[in-house]
Amino acid sequence: MTAREKPPLPVLDDFPVKASDTIRYGDTDKLGHVNNAVFSTFLETGRTRLLWGGAAAVAPEHASFVLARLVLDYRAEMLWPGEALIGTGVLSVGNSSMTLSQAIFQGERCTATAETVLVLFDLVTRRPLPLPEESLSRLASLKMRRPG
C-alpha cells in the first residue's frame, strides 16, 4: 500500500464482539442524519458488551474501566430509522489499560471507526489498577481477528 492509499474499512465480521442499538428519531439533527455525539453513545454500547456481555465481567468487583482516550473518525452518515451495529475488539493490552478497535455500521456500511483506551480504575483508591490474570485471559480471547 502506498502512502496515498487508505487501508480498507473494517467489516463487522472483523470484530469478536458485536452489539446493536436502535437509532431513535431523537438521535437525528437538523440535517436529518444521526448527530455526531450519538456515535459516542453507540461506541459505549459496544464497550459495555465487551466488558460485561460474556460469561464473566472483565473487571474485578472493586474496580471499573474508565475511558481515557477516544479517537473517532466519521466515515458515512447514518439515517433514521434503522439500527446501529457496533463491532469491538482488543488491539493491545498494557499493565492497567487496553486499547480497543471499534466500528459502527448501518447495514453493511461502515459509518465510523474508533480507537478507544480504557484504564482499569480502583473504586476505593481512585487510582489505576494492574489488570489481574483473569482479565488478561479474557481479553486475549477478545483480540481483533484482523488488525484494526
- pLDDT, residue 1, reads 53
Beta-strand pair 97-106/82-93: antiparallel
Q: What is the pLDDT of residue 52?
A: 86
| pLDDT value of residue 61 | 83
Mean pLDDT for the stretch of residues 110-127: 96
Domains of the chain: 15-140 (3.10.129.10)
d(CA 101, CA 59): 19
pLDDT tens digits for range 53-73: 765 678 888 899 999 999 999
